[in-house]
Structure 1
Amino acid sequence: MQRRDVLSGFAFTLIAGLARPVLAQEGRVIVSKIALLDGRVVTPVTIAGNGPYLFLLDTGGAGSLIDAKLARELKLQSTGSVRTRGVGGQAVLGSYTARDVIFGGGARQPVVSLSAIDGGFGPRVRGSLAAGILTTVDSDLDIEAGEWRAYPDGRPERVGFVKLERAIRSDSILGRNAASPRLYGDIQVNGMVLDCLLDTGAPGAISISYDNARRLGLWDDARPFTPQATSGIGGSGGIGRIVRADNALFAGQRFDRPLVLLRGPSDGARGHDGIVGLSMLRGFNLSTEVRTRSLWLQRHSDAAPLLERYGMSGLWLENKGNEIRVAVVGTGSPASAAGIQVGDRIAGLDFRSAIASITGPPGKSVELSVASGDQTRSVRFALTPFL
């Protein structure tokens, strides 16, 4: 997909970051362009005529973010610091003010508050827009049409949508008046109803807190799993697991045997049972009704299947000083079948090469020199979709 050029913007002020919206003339619809890029929803953003820069739309974010390097390049005005919480726990971030910001060639904001982080967005993306883009004015996030539409005077009647009550909530540790309300909704996993954050910034389909994973019986050493670390604001959230659930029900739609990320016991995500991420949300058009604090969802006519992406070796490696050690071996994985155990050491490779050797498509052959105690052996296996 090619990066979209910014169109000439409308003279309209819409929330982004922490500012308040100013209403446009009656009946006006403000259309900003969005696109799916590398499994994320992005929009081109210009700041004081510079750019465009790609920002992702993050309905799980209570505040908007910018790459710290870009904030310095643009010489944005520093406004001190802000304390926030993420997957890795609490963090203190630098705060900046951006001026004359245009989103996707449509919505315009004269002043935007942004917190700066060092990278973390991946290639091509330079920042994120918080949930307030949808939760402070009636809006559609229409991924199917490639549009984010804002209705300052209220949206026309919705036809063919499912309504989620109490979906727009203010719950950030920054305080009810200091951050964007976020989106929430119920999902059933193996029959248990979970109150989840609806997060377009999370790439997977479903993630569940450690406590709920234990209650559901999904965190079970006898169940096949592959290890997966979580990370975000505040650093690492520890090592979790990816497993298959029997089924999930969301917005009237049934999903059979979805992959579910189980967050580890040290994960810092708080205030909800789990997260419904973009892999599932991208199959719906999202429409907010701010007055009733509701979210309406409409299934796409040609919704893509959920992503099937996980580590097919079943190994999690850690760099311990001058040694590469096996931290986790997934039950039922090719690595487990080959006899690799927790505490084994990988010899003859640097850490980056070791990670590259166990990463790749199904069928890739892996050969490792594995040391246990004072014995070293050659281990071979093939990457296999074992879940």
Structure 2
Amino acid sequence: MRMLTLAIVPLLAVLSVSARQPASEAVPEANPSGSTPGTSPGPATSPADRDQGVARLAADTETRWVPFDLTPGNQIRFVMQIDGRSITAILDTGVSYTLLADTSPAVVRRALKPGGRASAIGGSVALRWMPTRSITLGGLTRSGGGVSVAALPALATGSATAVDLLVGRDLLAAHALDIDYPARRFRLIPTGRLPFAGDTAPLTISSDRRVYESAIRIGTHALAPIVVDTGDGSAITVTAAGWRRAAPPGLPTTTAIAYGLGGSVVSGLAIAPEIRVGTLVARDTEVRIEPEAGFSQSIGAAGRLGSGFLQHYRVLLDPSAARMVLRRGDVADPRPIRSTSGLLMGVESNRLKVLHVMRGGPAEASGWQVGDLICSIDGQPIPRDYPTSPLADWTIRPPGSVVRLGLCDGTTRTLTLRTFY
């Protein structure tokens, strides 16, 4: 697990919509002026009325592994092709319709059409629609069809540079998706194949949300439906109501911040002693607790199971066969990274910006504020590769450690670290 992930700067990207209207299937909004800069005039068309394209798997698709790396926000990042152009993409089973960034060089401005709006974590996003000639991903090729187009900020992946595409349910769900997290590769294979054995859990595509869904159990309480979302860097996220029913008595909680396509969200944060996913039992799992009337509740879901959880396993997602298979890696039940500082930060060039001060932590007790800027740690300047540098571990050092933090205004503060959740 990397340093700038859930315990430090929690980042996620999920696009979905209300229970009545699946992701990118939001009711199209009429354009008052009749046109939008760079967009063909006319009303938005629903996804059902668009060309769906024809997708095929190559005969040798099982040998066509796609290598990937994990972003600082835990998402699966790789290279694929749209209309013969290589682009960067994220595998996102929480997106109903594949989404192209409006800043991507793959966008053909003259081909854009109005696409309405869709709900996303942090708010709603405006969509446009772009026809495509071909999309190639590993052994999968789709001819025709198209993609939704919207703003896709870098902050949603925790990287300095935004990716071009979120690959969603529309491209993936007809096939089995084999994600070999330990080997950092994935492939698309025919549904029904079982390339490895492991714990199993139910998996479906919901008829309304049109995303991958399963169920979990916390203690004696089952929570469903749970969106299985490879685009969400968190481990487990549940609604406030679900947590009240399922939370172990006396378990301490704090707060954290996350980023979706619609903006930032502050949630509760706890470490659950035990989570069950089908036949799998996972211990000491980080759980995000959404605020009342949060995103999951708004779409009629009980929560999400994200890449922060899945990354510890080899994962088979095969909704047509109604199953998810999880095979443990070499390290069973890895301990979650816990902040001992209570500061969640983003990197801005050669400095850190405080994005959230965690409730009950030493930083809150010391008077830290959102927006504070840090330019050095124990006398060392912030390096450009800070998210992956050893210096980034100061926020999770052992309780009792004292860290000297140089603010960008020239002052220095000390922070004594401790366990608080």
Compared CA separation, residues 182 and 356, structure 1 to 2 (3 A): farther
More strand by share: 1
Compared CA separation, residues 24 and 118, structure 1 to 2 (3 A): closer
Give, in angstroms, the shift of residue 311 of structure 1. Answer: 4.2
Give, in angstroms, the shift of residue 25 of structure 1. Answer: 7.8
Matched residue of 2:336: which SS? coil
Compared CA separation, residues 327 and 30, structure 1 to 2 (3 A): closer
Compared CA separation, residues 367 and 46, structure 1 to 2 (3 A): closer
- Is residue 354–residue 373 contact of structure 2 (8 Å, CA) maintained in 1? no
- Following the alignment from structure 2 to structure 1, what is the Cα–Cα distance between the partners of residues 317 and 282? 24
* Alignment of 1:133 onto 2:163: no
The structure 2 residue matched to 1:274, chosen from 270, 295, 303, is 303
The structure 2 residue matched to 1:149, chosen from 171, 188, 201, is 188
Structure 1 length-normalised TM: 0.71
- Following the alignment from structure 2 to structure 1, what is the Cα–Cα distance between the partners of residues 204 and 420? 36
- Is residue 313–residue 384 contact of structure 1 (8 Å, CA) maintained in 2? yes
In the alignment, what sits opposite 1:6?
Answer: none
> Percent of pairs identical after alignment?
17
In the alignment, what sits opposite 2:99?
Answer: 65
Matched residue of 1:187: which SS? strand
Matches within 5 A, 1:78-93: 78-93=112-127
The structure 2 residue matched to 1:109, chosen from 134, 142, 155, is 142
CA deviation profile, 1:307-354 (whole Å, cap 9, x unmatched) = 73454333579xxxxxx99986523x2235x464xxxx75xxx92515
- Following the alignment from structure 1 to structure 2, what is the Cα–Cα distance between the partners of residues 76 and 364? 57
Give, in angstroms, the shift of residue 171 of structure 1. Answer: 2.1
In the alignment, what sits opposite 2:208?
Answer: 171
- Following the alignment from structure 1 to structure 2, what is the Cα–Cα distance between the partners of residues 158 and 75? 42
Matches within 5 A, 1:288-327: 288-292=317-321, 294-302=322-330, 305-306=333-334, 308-314=336-342
Q: For structure 1, which runs of at least 5 residues remain unmatched after alignment?
A: 1-16, 173-180, 318-323, 370-377
Structure 2 length-normalised TM: 0.66
Matches within 5 A, 1:236-275: 236-237=264-265, 239-265=266-292, 267-269=294-296, 270-275=299-304
- Following the alignment from structure 1 to structure 2, what is the Cα–Cα distance between the partners of residues 354 and 252? 45
Amino acid at match of 2:149: S
- Following the alignment from structure 1 to structure 2, what is the Cα–Cα distance between the partners of residues 26 and 141? 19
Give, in angstroms, the shift of residue 59 of structure 1. Answer: 0.9
CA deviation profile, 1:40-60 (whole Å, cap 9, x unmatched) = 222311222322x22010111
Give, in angstroms, the shift of residue 101 of structure 1. Answer: 2.3
- Is residue 247–residue 258 contact of structure 1 (8 Å, CA) maintained in 2? yes
Compared CA separation, residues 224 and 28, structure 1 to 2 (3 A): closer
- Following the alignment from structure 1 to structure 2, what is the Cα–Cα distance between the partners of residues 355 and 268? 35
* Alignment of 1:284 onto 2:284: no
- Is residue 76–residue 97 contact of structure 1 (8 Å, CA) maintained in 2? no
In the alignment, what sits opposite 1:33?
Answer: 66
- Following the alignment from structure 1 to structure 2, what is the Cα–Cα distance between the partners of residues 212 and 355? 40
Per chain length, whose mean CA-contact separation is higher, i.e. which structure has more relative contact order (CA < 8 Å, sep 6+)?
2
Give, in angstroms, the shift of residue 297 of structure 1. Answer: 0.3
Give, in angstroms, the shift of residue 36 of structure 1. Answer: 3.1
- Following the alignment from structure 2 to structure 1, what is the Cα–Cα distance between the partners of residues 78 and 258? 25
- Following the alignment from structure 2 to structure 1, what is the Cα–Cα distance between the partners of residues 55 and 366? 63
Counting matched residue pairs gives 333
Give, in angstroms, the shift of residue 159 of structure 1. Answer: 5.8
Give, in angstroms, the shift of residue 23 of structure 1. Answer: 4.4
Give, in angstroms, the shift of residue 366 of structure 1. Answer: 5.0
- Is residue 31–residue 150 contact of structure 1 (8 Å, CA) maintained in 2? no
- Following the alignment from structure 2 to structure 1, what is the Cα–Cα distance between the partners of residues 99 and 217? 31
- Is residue 244–residue 259 contact of structure 1 (8 Å, CA) maintained in 2? yes
In the alignment, what sits opposite 1:374?
Answer: none
Matches within 5 A, 1:196-207: 196-207=226-237
- Is residue 143–residue 285 contact of structure 1 (8 Å, CA) maintained in 2? yes
CA deviation profile, 1:348-382 (whole Å, cap 9, x unmatched) = xx92515988984324615699xxxxxxxx97422
- Is residue 334–residue 384 contact of structure 1 (8 Å, CA) maintained in 2? yes
Matched residue of 1:147: which SS? strand
* Alignment of 1:365 onto 2:371: no
CA deviation profile, 1:115-152 (whole Å, cap 9, x unmatched) = 2214234345322100233322344334355231221x
Compared CA separation, residues 206 and 352, structure 1 to 2 (3 A): same
In the alignment, what sits opposite 1:5?
Answer: none
- Following the alignment from structure 1 to structure 2, what is the Cα–Cα distance between the partners of residues 30 and 91? 37
CA deviation profile, 1:60-104 (whole Å, cap 9, x unmatched) = 111212221115765472021232111123332222233332224
Give, in angstroms, the shift of residue 185 of structure 1. Answer: 1.5
- Following the alignment from structure 1 to structure 2, what is the Cα–Cα distance between the partners of residues 79 and 149? 30
